[in-house]
Each structure stands twice: as structure tokens, then as C-alpha cells.
Structure 1
Amino acid sequence: MAKEALSPFKNRSTTQEFLFSPAESHRVDGQGTDSGPSADLSGRFPEMFDRQETLMAAIEAQMATATTILVLAMDIGTAIAAAADPDGDATTAGVAPLARFCRTHGGIWGRIGRQRFACALAERDGHAGAELADDLMSHCQEAGLPPVIIGWATFPTLDMTRADTVQNARKALDHGAFFGSGSITPFDGVSLNISGDRLYQADDMAGAMAEFKKGLQLDPTDANLYNSLGVCYGILEDYPNAFAAFENAMQLSPHDVMAVYNKGYLLLRQGQHTTALACFMEAYAHEPEIFEVVYHIGQAHMALAQADQARPFLEAATRINPRSGPAAALLGRCLDDLGLTRDAIQAYKHAVKINPEDAEVLSRLGQSYRLLGESLDVAAVFCEQSVRLVPDNGQFRVALGEVYLQLERIDEARAEFEAAERLGCPDHPRIEAIQEGRMAAEAG
């Protein structure tokens, strides 16, 4: 998560996740897209390498003895978007300043994406990077182009190869997309955090963790990188390393909510509800409107049988995110525990409206109607739906049997209780009561 663009808790609705801000959510509109067919530029620029791989191979071959290498990458998406002919002359016009710049400075260049190009210069280091990036931007402005995005990276960096510098410059472009057109961004730890975020979103956990670790080598003071790495360890259930990463993040940024929340969520997953609650309350003190924080405070209170304390937080969670089915369902359970059956019904109905196939909520809604002793036919419908969705749940069978019993549908009630017993949910008292009632009726 890039600090410069951090707004990590906007528009989130999950209740079973770590807090982890996807890089995609912060992209500036119209920036960073790089898909679709590419215009053929080989005739106009014969010196251009046509793919990223060929440019990387050329760097390894032609700059094998260079002690330092600077790669400047440019995204001409804004220039293309502003042109009337995005697949023809506009691409040529957008690339021309880079071609001139590269010839002037004795470099090699090529395409690294549909609208992305990069120039490699030997024996240039980071001290020259910012100056040459400004020079490239000036070339673009002099050509009358709309502001472009430039990212740059240098060799040597950590244990990466000369060719890897192209990929690093491309990651700097992705980083620059956070700032929009006209930005110049060097490759750094934040660039690797963004790259890791995207790999995480693509379910490449190993790749994401490798990026976060490299980012921490570049910047061991970046709390966001520690938080991101901790999330990965947590998902892999490597709890010691996850806790260590979150603790490092908290020490580096004591007022950052993500790490303390994530520590609490990890504790909650381990059943340590009291210590988890303390973490959530610490996060709440800084950010009282974050859905996940508020919801999990309510969840922790419920796990500790503190429904009265859970209620205001669960009500707040449903206010912050009225589309969260789990929050509405848990509020219903809370109100049930407080004996507020009618209020619980409203919460359950809201949860069912969000997710009509939540079998547990359907069963609880039916039970609530049964407890009121009214609308028993409606109660039966909800309980029947829950059993239809999850026929192997003995508790749902018991709930349906209780409704049938109250409706005096004795044979159907007995069938449900017996099914529950077969599913490992014994219900001998009810079955025996039905048998005794029948025997008494026959004797009478």
C-alpha cells in the first residue's frame, strides 16, 4: 500500500479478511492500463526493440560490462487517449520524444507494453536519474504531448540483474500511476509494495511475499511493507512470523490502524477474544468509522457473551455498511440474545434480503417467528428453506421440527427430529414427548 495514496479502508465490505489495501483501488482513472493491440512502429523506428524480453536481452548483451545502468520508462497513455487516432499517428508522436532522447544520450530502447516504452542508458546512476527523467519529460512537453508518466530504476539494485532494471522501471510506472499524468517516480520500496499487492490480488502469495521482502531490503522503515508481509504470513497460518511483522509495523507507525487491526484479527482467528478485542478497541480509538474494526469489536463481544456491549458496535457496522449480510445476521443474533425478538426479526430479514441463500439466517428467522408464536406458517417456510439449502445440518432440522410441532404437524415434526438424530444431533426428549402424547391420546 503506497503511503502517498493511502486510503485503505474506503468502500470495503468484508468481515472475514485482514485489512490490506489493493493497489488497484488507488489507480488514477485513465492511467496504468496496458492491454489491447499494439500499433506497429517497426517501420518508423527500426532501432526499437519490439518486446520487453528483447530489450532485456539486449541490455544483458550490450551492457554486460556496464557498472551502472539507468532505465527510464514512459507511459504515453494520456497522449494516446487525447488523440483522434489512438492506434496510428498518435502512438508515433508519443514515442518520438523517447526515441530522440535515447539517440541523444546513446542508449537503446524498446516497447515494454502496449503504451509503454523504456530507454536504457549505460554508466548512468541514481544521481543522474532524476535529472535525465526531467530531461525526458521536457522532450515530451516540447513535442506538444499531454503530460505522460515516467518511472525510472537503476542497476545495481540489491541482487537484481541488469535486465531486471527494465521490470523495476515498469514497477515504478505502476507506482507513478498513483500520482497521475506528469509524475516522475523512482523505483523504491513502495513500488515493490504495489507490485506485491497486485500479485497478492492475483493469488500469487509466494510472488507477493518476495516483493514485500525485497521492498524491506530497500526500505526497512516502511510499516506498510511489514503489514503486507504480515497479512501473507497470516493467511499461510505462519502465526509467529505474522505477529512479528505486525509488531514491526506498529512500532514504525504507532497510529496506523491496519497493523493493530490485523494483529487483532489474527488473535480472533485463534480464539483469543479478549486480547483481540483490545487490539480492535485501539484501532477504533483512531478510526471509529472503519467497518471491519467496528464489526469485529461486536463479534469479539459476542464471542465473550457480552451481547449488551456488542449491540452498539453491530448497529454501527450495519449503518457503515448496510450491504453486509454477516453484520446484519450477527446483529440479529445479538438482539435475540438480548430477548429483543421482534428487533432480531428485522435484522434477520435484512440479512436474508442481502443473501437469500444464507441457511443459518433463514433458520434463525424461522425460530424467531416461532418464539413469538405468530406467523407460524411463515416460520415453517423459512425453516424449510434452510433445510432445503443444507439438508445435512441437524440443528436446522431441529428448528424445523419445533415449528412443525407448534403447528401440530406431529408426523412431520417427528420425521425432522429423527433426521436430526441421524445427523448426530440427538433430540430424544422431543421424540419421546411425541410418543407419550400419542400413547396418551390412544389410551384416552
Structure 2
Amino acid sequence: MARQSPDLFKNRSATQEFLFSHSDDIIDDGNAEKVLTSRDSAGTAPYSAHFSDMLDRQELIHAIDTHMASASTLCAITVRVEWAAGMKSDNVKGTDIPEDAVTPIATVCRVHSGTWARIGRDRFACLFPHLTAVDGQVLAQNLLNAFSEAKGPPITIGVAAYPTLNYTRSQIVENAEKALEHAGFFGPGTITVFDSVSLNISGDRHYQAGDIAGAIGEFKKGLLLNSSDANLHNSLGVCYGVLKDYDNALTAFENAIWLAPEEVMAIYNKGIVLLYQGNGEQALECFLEADAQEPNVFEVVFHIGQAFMEMGATKKARPYLEAATRANSRSGPAFKSFGACLDTLELTKEAIQAYKSAIKINPGDAESLSILGRLYTKRGESLDVASVLCEQSVRLSPDNGLFRHRLGHVYLNLGKLGHALAEFELAVALGHDSQPQIEETQDRMMAAKAS
């Protein structure tokens, strides 16, 4: 998605997710077919007779389809008045912008034979037949100057032109709005022309709204405008990966890597696809390559550690899993995996600390509660604490035979033989082999009675 700083993807959950950078200020209206941001359909009526030529969105589209239907070129300029939502002015009624703040837009449109409309609470669009994107940039600069000279509010401008790809004339307004969203990354006082990055940002918004098909469409169109955009290839690969279309995902990530060999996200994502395809060793190679490009990225070091654990290379896994806990100190799965690594290495005391951190982050992690109880029992200390932990684990997961077995083992160490026997029997009923412990407990109960 829209590429920003790598810091944006260093602190994510420790799950097998693909990496991408988010665009900001995303609002999902629940309609996957139409992803909106801060634009809306509110208040499109003219302010006064002075603006009687101001249309609303639908009227503007109708004007394009009728009066401008024969124009071989069109240029659209979208304007966002940045201070509208937060204004505290006696001239403001509800969410309306003062008329004097709108006047420069009306003036530029009228002088250059344009058609204009209010397309949102704080957004306006101007359409100019027979002008190009270059002409539009000149008019946009004139508009910026006019607002500045009138000491008006800050504005941001997006520009789009027809023809572009296979977009229809009426789609020029939507493209100009995408350019305006793109301009939001640069701030007030800027002009941005619709391009492949605008489509990348738009695709990101579709992705965040759950409209994967819409996101793919935007990314593909972006690649038609700029086939050498590595980030677009990566974004497309993420969508294919989510859809489990791993062959196309792998192709997209490899294209991104070919275009930008230093791109950590694409290298990592290729590794994730290989992992899903069962190619663990090749996946590990990708993760190690990504770590060499940019050390200590959370997702990367986490998956390196996981890969080494699955290969039985626990000592190699340890430094990477420890690095993952440093890179994201709020990741329960990272501490949990680190604890499992330390437990395997027989570093019980250190493993206890790791699992305690995992539970602090996620108190509802039944598995970590159960394992921590087992570790306390193994050390022969804090058995009362161990029983509380194991009891909590079975309350959270009552149908887990292993958790029942561990609770029974704690009870056995506490001398609560009846409770231990009950838990071991439940464990067997749930499919865990606790028969030896049942026999041991029964023997101890008989011995206790005999004495």
C-alpha cells in the first residue's frame, strides 16, 4: 500500500500477516463498493443567489455527461478547505464555510468557463472542458494564489484529466478526489496530480474496508500508469496473498523485488508466501535476507525465530525471538514463542519470566497460563500460584485435555489427590494420555488410606 516509513510495520501483531504501509484517515462507511474518506454528501445547496451556479455532485456528473460529452479533453480540480470542520466563526452556520472563503473558487471557474460544484462538507470540484492536466495545474496555482491574496483558509488541491486510461469522462471527478486524498500526505497549500500513487492510496483504502477486489482493481490500474512502481506490485501481492492465490502473490512480490531489491516488505512477503506453500527453508532464506537489508524489523525477526524453532534449531532461534520481544514489547505471541524457546533449552527461570510477560499482555491466553503453571510446578515453587494459573487455564479452555492434565499434576504435587484424580480422568476423557498419572494417584490414595 502507500509506502511510508518502515517504522509503520515494525510494531504489528506476531501473526503470519503480509506487510504493507497504511494510508491515514480511513473511514469505512460499510459499503465495500464505495470507499469514502472525509468526503461526504452533506450540504450541497447554494449559499445564496451569489452562488446560484454552484451545482451538487449529481448535477455536476449530469453536466459532464451532457454538456461536456463531446469534449476531447477535460480537466477537474478538487479543492478541500482545510479549516472548515474546526472553524469557530460568527459567519459559520452549522458546518458551512463562509461565503468569502468560497468566492475564489467561484471566480476561477467563472473566468475560465468552468463548471463547479460542492461535493462534500468542505470539498469543491471545478470542471474545465478542453483543458489538460498541465492547464489544470496552472489554474490550481492561480487558485492557491487567490486564496492567499484574500487571506482565506488553507486549501489542498487535486487535479485529474480526461482521457486517462479507460476512465470515462464522468469518472474524472472521482479521480480528482483520489488526487486530493493523495495531496493530503503533503499538507495544505499543495497541488497533486492524479497518478499511480493516487491509485495506490485508493487501493489501500479499499483494502482496509475489506474490499479486496476493489483494491486489486486500483493497484492494477496504478500499474498501467506506472509498471515500475515496486510498492504497487507489493500491494497487489498482499491482496493475492489474502485471497490465498499464492502463485500470483509470489509473482507480484518477485516483480517488486526485481524493481527494488532493497525492499524489505516484498522480501518478507515472499517468505510468507513460501511458508504458506510449505517451503520453510526457502522462506527462512527470504526472512534472513530481509533481516540483512534492515535488521530487527519485528515481523522479520519473529518469523526467523519461528522458522528455526520448527527446524529444531532452538539455539539459533533464541536471539531472533529475543529481538522480537525488544522490537515489539506489546506482542504476547512474541513473548510466548520466546518462552517456548527458553523452555526447550531448559532455561526454566527465564522461560517463566517470558510467559509472565505474555500473560501480562494477554491475560486470557489459556495456553500460556497452563504452561506457566507447569513451569512453576517443575521448579517445585509457588505451587499455590501454579494451581491458580492452571485453574484459570481450564476455566478458559475447559475441553483441553492437556490443560486438565497439568492441573491434575499441580494438585498431585499439592497432595490434593481427589482433585488430581478428577482432573486426570477428565484429561483422559478429552483424549489426553493421563492413565499413568491416574494409576499413580490411585496408588497414593490407597497408600494414604493404609497408613
User: What is the CA deviation profile of residues 87-137 of structure 1, one whole-angstrom value per residue up to 9, with x for unaligned ones?
Assistant: 358442232111111111111110121111110111112332322222222
User: What is the CA deviation profile of residues 417-438 of structure 1, one whole-angstrom value per residue up to 9, with x for unaligned ones?
Assistant: 2212222223222223333444
1:232 corresponds to 2:239: yes
**Relative to 1, partners in 2 of residues 1:355 and 1:36: Cα closer, same or farther, differing over 3 Å?**
farther
- Structure 2 contact 74–127 (Cα < 8 Å) conserved: yes
State the secondary structure of the residue aligned to 1:24: coil
Q: CA deviation at 1:39?
A: 8.0
Instruction: Tell me which residue corresponds to 1:182.
Output: 189
1:414 corresponds to 2:414: no
Instruction: Tell me which residue corresponds to 2:130.
Output: 123
Q: TM-score, normalised by structure 2?
A: 0.91
1:144 aligned partner, one-letter code: K
For structure 1, the 5+ residue unaligned runs are none
Instruction: Tell me which residue corresponds to 1:314.
Output: 321
- Structure 1 contact 80–86 (Cα < 8 Å) conserved: no
Instruction: Tell me which residue corresponds to 1:46.
Output: 52
1:23 aligned partner, one-letter code: S
Q: What CA distance in whole angstroms lies between the structure 2 residues aligned with 1:80 and 1:377?
A: 58
1:386 corresponds to 2:363: no
Matched length: 438
Q: What CA distance in whole angstroms lies between the structure 1 residues aligned with 2:60 and 2:338?
A: 58
User: What is the CA deviation profile of residues 20-69 of structure 1, one whole-angstrom value per residue up to 9, with x for unaligned ones?
Assistant: 11111799xxxx8446964853424111112x233122211211111111
Which of 105, 125, 141 does residue 148 from structure 2 map onto? 141
1:255 corresponds to 2:254: no
**Relative to 1, partners in 2 of residues 1:26 and 1:314: Cα closer, same or farther, differing over 3 Å?**
farther
Q: What CA distance in whole angstroms lies between the structure 1 residues aligned with 2:40 and 2:361?
A: 35
Percent identity for Structure 1 against Structure 2: 52
State the secondary structure of the residue aligned to 2:241: helix
Q: CA deviation at 1:274?
A: 1.9
**Relative to 1, partners in 2 of residues 1:85 and 1:194: Cα closer, same or farther, differing over 3 Å?**
farther
- Structure 1 contact 9–290 (Cα < 8 Å) conserved: no
For structure 2, the 5+ residue unaligned runs are 28-36
Q: What CA distance in whole angstroms lies between the structure 1 residues aligned with 2:200 and 2:7?
A: 14
State the secondary structure of the residue aligned to 2:24: helix
Which of 286, 290, 293 does residue 286 from structure 1 map onto? 293
Q: What CA distance in whole angstroms lies between the structure 2 residues aligned with 1:101 and 1:277?
A: 58
Alignment map for 1:51-70 (pairs within 5 Å): 52-70=57-75
User: What is the CA deviation profile of residues 335-387 of structure 1, one whole-angstrom value per residue up to 9, with x for unaligned ones?
Assistant: 11111111111111111111111101101110110110111111111011010
**Relative to 1, partners in 2 of residues 1:67 and 1:39: Cα closer, same or farther, differing over 3 Å?**
closer
State the secondary structure of the residue aligned to 1:310: helix
2:152 aligned partner, one-letter code: L
1:41 aligned partner, one-letter code: P
Instruction: Tell me which residue corresponds to 1:370.
Output: 377
1:77 corresponds to 2:82: yes
CA RMSD of aligned residues (A): 2.3
Q: CA deviation at 1:2?
A: 3.4
State the secondary structure of the residue aligned to 1:23: coil
Tell me whether 262-271 or 285-294 shows the greater mean CA deviation. 262-271
Which of 294, 302, 313 does residue 295 from structure 1 map onto? 302
Q: TM-score, normalised by structure 1?
A: 0.92
Instruction: Tell me which residue corresponds to 2:406.
Output: 399
